[in-house]
Structure formats: C-alpha cells, structure tokens
Structure 1
C-alpha cells in the first residue's frame, strides 16, 4: 500500500533540516539496499554531501529518496522516469505553497486565483 503524500510532508517537518543521515541510514529509511542509493547518487537522481569520505543527507533528500523508491517499487518505474515524476511532484508542491502565500498576502480566499 503506498504511503499517503502527507506522510512525506510530515516526515520532512519532523526531521531537523540540520540533521544528517548516512548513506546506510537513508537506504534503511527507504527500505532499499545501500547500493540502490549509490546508483541514484551516481546517476544524479539523488543529492547529498560528502564529509570526511562519508555521504550525508538532509531531510529533503530523505523525502525525495522515499518517493523515488516508492515509484520504482510500486510501478516498476525506470529510475530516470521516477526522478522526473518526483521533480514534477516537488514543483507542484512549491507552486501550491507560493500560491497559498500570495493568497494570504493579498487577502484572497483559497481557490479564488
């Protein structure tokens, strides 16, 4: 059963943006093997930072990786197609957030735009 989208948003909010996960932690969070994470890093589908020879990931990377893993597993999606889908999900989320901010700032009721 797929994880509802609000769980990803809740996860990102619960995780401290300053907290960093290791490659192994990220793989475990996604229920995938560390090699899966490494392959997506090499393909440029996931982003992390290297510090002291070890990969570290932010909460944003956790949400993205979980979405990638879910799309690949649920729909047997090609990793690049899954990443494109995640890019679109992230863009729509950002646009909705900006719309809500504009509505609040201008005093327009939700759905009036």
Structure 2
C-alpha cells in the first residue's frame, strides 16, 4: 500500500496555485468528493471560488487535506479534531523554520 502522503506525479508538480478541482482534490486524498464537500462546509479546508460554480484548491490545501484524511483514518479523529492537529503541525513547522533562520550557522551543524 502506498504511503498516505504519496502524490501522483502530476499532482506533485503543481505550479498553479489554483490547479485542483474538488474532484481532483478528492482523488489526491483518496476520498470521495462528498468527503471534500463535507470538510469544505465544516470550514476544515478552504477553497478558492467558486468560479463558474467550480471550487479550486491550492497545493497547500492539498497538503492540509491529505494530512486531515490521514489523521481521521489513523486515529479515528473527528474532522474538527484532525483539523486542529493539522493546524498545530503547520504551526510547529513554521516555528521550526523561523528558529532555523535565527540560529547561527555553527549551531545548525550540530
């Protein structure tokens, strides 16, 4: 079984920030489009649009949605709890990145 965060090549090469439709996001998360719609309505993930009745999702939303799907499956988490955990994971990553920028180069080598 492929890893939960494995991306098909075409999705891993996203350049356009508004490249995924609801159906494509669902496919990338290995979920039904109804799963994406429910998370969208609950405010757990965000979309751009709708434009001409179609929602579009950014590559960062793809990462978040896959993380939420993984947390829901692995830990039988409620969507809101999975979203909270995803928020915390994103915040920790951002803080680590800021810390790495603040540390002197010699401290990063250890």
TM-score by length of 1: 0.80
Query: 1:51-105: CA deviations, max 9, x gaps?
Result: 22101001000000000000111111111110000000000000011111112xx
Corresponding pairs, count: 106
Q: Which runs of 5+ in 1 are unaligned?
A: none
Aligned to 2:46: 47
Query: 1:11-56: CA deviations, max 9, x gaps?
Result: x974325351000000000000000000011110000111221010
Equivalent residues in 2 for 1:1-113 (5 A)? 3=3, 14-50=13-49, 51-103=51-103, 106-107=104-105, 109-110=107-108
RMSD: 2.5
TM-score by length of 2: 0.82
The runs of at least 4 aligned residues of structure 1 exceeding 6 Å deviation read: none
